[in-house]
Amino acid sequence: MKARKPVQDRGIQTRTAILDAAKALFAEKGYHGTNSKEIAAKAGVATGTFYSYFDEKKPVFFEVIRGYYREISDAVLADGALEIYSLPIRTKSDFRRLVHELIRALYKAHTISPELHREITAMIYGDPEVEQLIREEENKTITLVGALLAKVSDRLAVEDIGAAVEVVVHSAEEVIHRLRMFEHDIADERVLNELEDMMYRYLFVKG
Amino acid sequence: MKARKPVQDRGIQTRTAILDAAKALFAEKGYHGTNSKEIAAKAGVATGTFYSYFDEKKPVFFEVIRGYYREISDAVLADGALEIYSLPIRTKSDFRRLVHELIRALYKAHTISPELHREITAMIYGDPEVEQLIREEENKTITLVGALLAKVSDRLAVEDIGAAVEVVVHSAEEVIHRLRMFEHDIADERVLNELEDMMYRYLFVKG
Amino acid sequence: MKARKPVQDRGIQTRTAILDAAKALFAEKGYHGTNSKEIAAKAGVATGTFYSYFDEKKPVFFEVIRGYYREISDAVLADGALEIYSLPIRTKSDFRRLVHELIRALYKAHTISPELHREITAMIYGDPEVEQLIREEENKTITLVGALLAKVSDRLAVEDIGAAVEVVVHSAEEVIHRLRMFEHDIADERVLNELEDMMYRYLFVKG
Amino acid sequence: MKARKPVQDRGIQTRTAILDAAKALFAEKGYHGTNSKEIAAKAGVATGTFYSYFDEKKPVFFEVIRGYYREISDAVLADGALEIYSLPIRTKSDFRRLVHELIRALYKAHTISPELHREITAMIYGDPEVEQLIREEENKTITLVGALLAKVSDRLAVEDIGAAVEVVVHSAEEVIHRLRMFEHDIADERVLNELEDMMYRYLFVKG
DNA sequence: GATGAATGAGGTTTCATTCAT
DNA sequence: GATGAATGAAACCTCATTCAT
């Protein structure tokens, strides 16, 4: 049976309920640790209902992934980054602020669900479709940051902007994710400061 | 029945065969995608034999993890890093070389099995024991790099060495891992160069 | 996944079918000789269905035990014992009749399934929960017989009624169970007569 | 490979060690709960050695059963019963003493291993060979007690001695076994006294 | 003869998915 | 459309027994 596309309000609510339940369970117990019956139960619907909204478990995960990246992206942009992006950047301290704000925004955005984040990145392999999907989402970030750097390219200390974006984005993502995800002795603030220093010097200080 | 500790030669060989098979399969198909029967088959033994050497699938994974980190560590050290570590570092170009060599050594070490690496890091969650184990292994790296930086602390541009080590290690690991792991348009060399620049400027160029 | 509590009619029927099948198989081949797949097959359901109604094999056995004792108890009571219990007992031959009727009722009740009976008593050990459950059911009998004897305590030849009940109940149970259970040369009637004599003299004839 | 019949001392010791280990484990964990590897381990030999002394697990159990009945029988006879059996029995109190001594001897004998006893009786079904073996051993008791009663037949209150023996032996066995086997509130002594009363009145007091 | 490693059939259990109501 | 019961393939694991050394 093909998955239903709900048009009525009730149907849309059910679909959302399933996605929310799935999101929570994936975050808590992982994709493999969660089964469709549980998702249905948590969503307050029958197993069969689950399958009338989704063909399989996987597409549910896809949607959750998409939703997650949308949330992160919205959060970063909403959090002043967009504003910065549109303001003129001239002075040295403007650059510093740019880096600072972006890192803080990303850090803030990662409150959303570090558990889900790890589950998503963990699943990047194992299924080519999942990889494809995640790469696409990541590329949006890469493109965004690339555009941002392009805007200030005359002041950049780096030459290979394409490669630089990769380095910068994945480094920042990883360091911040780990702060959110794990217990650690060093205060987050200290690590964020160092990360900021690293980014700033790399991008704007000629060595 | 408790896992067997082989005493005869044959037993030791079998145990190794099982671990090798498991390692290959985990790398290829992931932990969840691999089952004990397959491992046994690939190792050329019966299912029961698998279970007389290991209580469950998990401890096999543990051993594989340990072995992997040992390999990586051996490779990095063997690959000149150790040598650098023991040589005097004075001039600007010495620092540059230090960073360069370490990054290249790490890159080289990641040939070993990027697939296994991702599977290991993916499994860092879901099982507290796995997390514990991996954290321990990671800490060895952190400590090593920390010691290295301490040696040149008077020339370091960073102040908070503890936080800096975290930032540096995880950034480098992540960027390199991605190079090994994914298809991408940008040549590895370009990314490695940028990574090197970033590290160098951060650590040794006051901004 | 937790055992299902059926709500629909169909589910209740399935549950009953599983219990019936299990009961028959436990009686025929013993608890250890019966496996879940067989139970499911005999009940006409898939293996998975079995496990959606019961978490394990053991709880099925529990239910079968409970059902068995209920049947026995119902049979004994229905079979005139209850009536006797409520009638006045005065003369010597009343006492004789009391003993006679109870023993015959018990004998009759043991038609139900001597095989299951032995399997149940055999399983009294090995699992504390099973023991607990069986002891509880046995105590109901002890209590019932104790009450019966208490009613005629002034005519009883025994003094320690508490101990007497234990002796009487377990002796009768065992002798009758063996009649039902095993091939033997001596006719059941002869053994029952002797059992009756033993009980009667013990309880009502001062020696 | 056919089971070995050891002739040398060492072989006999090994065989005994295996049987002792098996006996202890069967008593502790039941026949089904014990596996050959464990038996071998507890006996301090290799698995293979176990199988060079016994073809299968079952014959080990057979031997254990035989040994157990021999022990019980020896204990009862050694414990004065034999003496009574050979002494003249005339007076009322002689009969009383006869019953008393036999019951106490049986009670004493059941110290040996109530756990093994239950495991043996539990296994009476499930395997025809086991049943056969146990019945034979039980019949020895029946015959012995039958002979005893025959000796005093002129003073017996029962007429059907054959049936009486069955009733008496199984009742006593069961009641005593339960005393040994289970926790209970009533003191053993009280139950034994009642059992004695029951037996005495039944056998020697005309009602 | 003893050792302990190896076997593999068979049991238990799980869960994504389908289907009858 | 919704429900929850049913499916069965496939995973996990055990252990009586055989076999190579």
Instruction: Please give the protein residue whose CA is closest to the C1' of the nucleotide E15.
Output: A35
**Do both C81 and C32 map to the same domain?**
no
SS (H, E, C) chain D: CCCCCCCCHHHHHHHHHHHHHHHHHHHHHCCCCCCHHHHHHHHCCCHHHHHHHCCCHHHHHHHHHHHHHHHHHHHHHHHHHHHHHHCCCCCHHHHHHHHHHHHHHHHHHCCCCHHHHHHHHHCCCCCHHHHHHHHHHHHHHHHHHHHHHHHCHHHCCCCCHHHHHHHHHHHHHHHHHHHHHCCCCCCHHHHHHHHHHHHHHHHHCCC
pLDDT at D81: 62
**Do both D62 and D35 map to the same domain?**
no
**Measured between alpha carbons, how far is B189 from B176 in angstroms, rounded to an integer?**
11
pLDDT digits (tens, 9 = 90+) for A157-192: 998 999 999 999 999 999 999 999 888 999 999 999
pLDDT at A1: 56
Q: Which of A118, A156, A166 to probe the B interface (max B CBs under 10 A)?
A: A166
Which chain A residues contact residue B118 at CB under 8 A?
124-125
CA atoms within 13 A on the CB side of C14: 21
CB–CB contact D193 C32 (8 Å) = no
Nucleotide closest to residue D53 (CA–C1') = E1
pLDDT at D2: 65
Q: DSSP for A109-163, please give it.
A: HTTS-HHHHHHHHHTTTT-HHHHHHHHHHHHHHHHHHHHHHHHTGGG-S-S-HHH
Q: How far is CA C176 from the centre of its chain?
A: 11
A 10 A CB-CB count for C11 gives 15
**Measured between alpha carbons, how far is A6 from A78 in angstroms, rounded to an integer?**
30
The residue ranking higher by pLDDT, C129 or B177, is: B177
Percentage of residues in chain D with pLDDT exceeding 70? 94
Q: Nearest CA to CA, how far is A5 from chain B (Å)? A: 31
**Measured between alpha carbons, how far is C107 from C175 in angstroms, rounded to an integer?**
10
* Structure-block tokens of residue D63: 């031997």
CB C17 within 8 A of CB C7: no
Which chain D residues contact residue C158 at CB under 8 A?
194, 197
Amino acid present at D102: L
Which chain A residues contact residue B191 at CB under 8 A?
163, 166-167
Q: pLDDT class for C23, splitting at 50, 70, 90?
A: very high
* B205, C16, C175, C180 from C72: Cα distances, Å: 90, 19, 16, 14
Q: Mean pLDDT, to the nearest integer, of B63-67? A: 91
**Measured between alpha carbons, how far is D143 from D174 in angstroms, rounded to an integer?**
18
Q: DSSP for C25-48, please give it.
A: HHHHH-STT--HHHHHHHHTS-HH
**Do both D46 and D98 map to the same domain?**
no
pTM of the full structure: 0.82
- Across the interface, of D118, D125, D167, the residue whose CB is closest to C198 is D167
DSSP C79: I
Q: Nearest CA to CA, how far is D12 from chain C (Å)? A: 32
Determine the angle formed by the axes of helices A57-76 and A92-109, rounding to 10 degrees: 150
The answer for A 105-134 residues in CB contact with B (under 8 A) is 115, 118-119, 121-126, 131
Helix or strand holding residue A92 (H, E): helix A92-109
- Asked if strand E contacts C59 at the CB level, meaning under 7 A, the answer is no
CB C68 within 8 A of CB C120: yes
Mean pLDDT comparison of B6-15, C123-132, D116-125, D152-161, highest-scoring range: D152-161
pLDDT digits (tens, 9 = 90+) for B20-59: 999 999 888 888 889 999 999 999 999 999 999 998 898 9
* B85, C191, D137 from D124: Cα distances, Å: 75, 21, 12
CATH for A46: 1.10.10.60
**Do both B89 and B149 map to the same domain?**
yes
**Do both D21 and D101 map to the same domain?**
no
**Do both D37 and D110 map to the same domain?**
no
Q: DSSP for B20-39, please give it.
A: HHHHHHHHHH-STT--HHHH
pLDDT at B195: 98
Helix or strand holding residue B178 (H, E): helix B161-181
pLDDT digits (tens, 9 = 90+) for D189-199: 999 999 999 99
* A100, A132, A151, B33 from A169: Cα distances, Å: 14, 18, 17, 30
CATH for C123: 1.10.357.10
Q: Which of C206, C144, C204 is nearest to C173 (CA)?
A: C144
Percentage of residues in chain C with pLDDT exceeding 90? 43
* A52, A54, A56, A133, C165 from A2: Cα distances, Å: 7, 8, 10, 22, 69
**Do both B114 and B41 map to the same domain?**
no
pLDDT digits (tens, 9 = 90+) for B91-119: 888 889 889 988 998 999 898 888 888 88
Which backbone phi and psi does D69 adopt, to 5 degrees? -65, -35
Q: Mean pLDDT, to the nearest integer, of C11-18? A: 90
pLDDT at B80: 61
The answer for B 1-30 residues in CB contact with D (under 8 A) is 1
Q: How many CB pairs under 8 A join A and B?
A: 126
pLDDT digits (tens, 9 = 90+) for B163-176: 999 999 999 999 99
A 10 A CB-CB count for D116 gives 20
Does C82 have pLDDT greater than 70?
Answer: no
Q: Mean pLDDT, to the nearest integer, of C69-89? A: 76
* Structure-block tokens of residue C181: 């259970």
Task: From the CA of D47 to the C1' of E5: give the distance in Å.
Answer: 10
**Do both D111 and D69 map to the same domain?**
yes
* Structure-block tokens of residue C200: 């009667």
Q: How large is the C-alpha radius of gyration of chain B?
A: 20
Q: How far is CA A140 from the centre of its chain?
A: 10
Report chain B's mean pLDDT, rounded to a whole number: 88
Give D96: exposed, middle or buried? Use CB within 10 Å, 0-12, 13-18, 19+: middle
pLDDT at A81: 62
Does D9 have pLDDT greater than 60?
Answer: yes
pLDDT at D199: 96
**Measured between alpha carbons, how far is A105 from A111 in angstroms, rounded to an integer?**
10
**Do both C139 and C86 map to the same domain?**
yes
**Measured between alpha carbons, how far is A157 from A204 in angstroms, rounded to an integer?**
5
**Measured between alpha carbons, how far is A45 from A6 in angstroms, rounded to an integer?**
15
SS3 state of residue C64: helix
The residue ranking higher by pLDDT, C151 or A61, is: A61
Which backbone phi and psi does D33 adopt, to 5 degrees? -85, -5
CB A47 within 8 A of CB A36: yes
Q: Nearest CA to CA, how far is B48 from chain D (Å)? A: 14
Which chain D residues contact residue B1 at CB under 8 A?
35, 37-38
**Do both C10 and C103 map to the same domain?**
no
The residue ranking higher by pLDDT, C3 or D54, is: D54
**Do both B61 and B98 map to the same domain?**
yes
pLDDT at D126: 67
**Measured between alpha carbons, how far is A166 from D97 in angstroms, rounded to an integer?**
100
Amino acid present at C172: A
Q: Return the sign of the alpha-carbon dihedral for residues B64, B68, B71, B74.
A: negative
Q: Which domain holds residue D25?
A: 1-55
Q: pLDDT class for D180, splitting at 50, 70, 90?
A: very high
DSSP B56: S
**Do both A118 and A30 map to the same domain?**
no
* Structure-block tokens of residue C120: 């149940």
> Domain count of chain B?
2
A 10 A CB-CB count for C101 gives 18
In a structure prediction context, what are the per-residue pLDDT tens digits for chain A, which is 207 residues long? 567 777 777 888 999 999 999 999 988 888 888 999 999 999 999 999 999 999 999 999 999 999 998 888 888 887 766 666 677 777 888 889 889 988 998 999 898 888 888 888 877 766 778 888 888 888 988 998 898 888 888 889 998 999 999 999 999 999 999 999 888 999 999 999 999 999 999 999 987
Which backbone phi and psi does A112 adopt, to 5 degrees? -45, -55
**Measured between alpha carbons, how far is C165 from B76 in angstroms, rounded to an integer?**
81
Of D55, D75, D99, which marks where a domain is finished? D55
* B28, B88, B133, C115, C169 from D126: Cα distances, Å: 48, 80, 48, 10, 26
pLDDT digits (tens, 9 = 90+) for C111-133: 888 888 888 877 776 677 788 88
Q: Which of C175, D192, B201, D103 is nearest to A202 (CA)?
A: B201
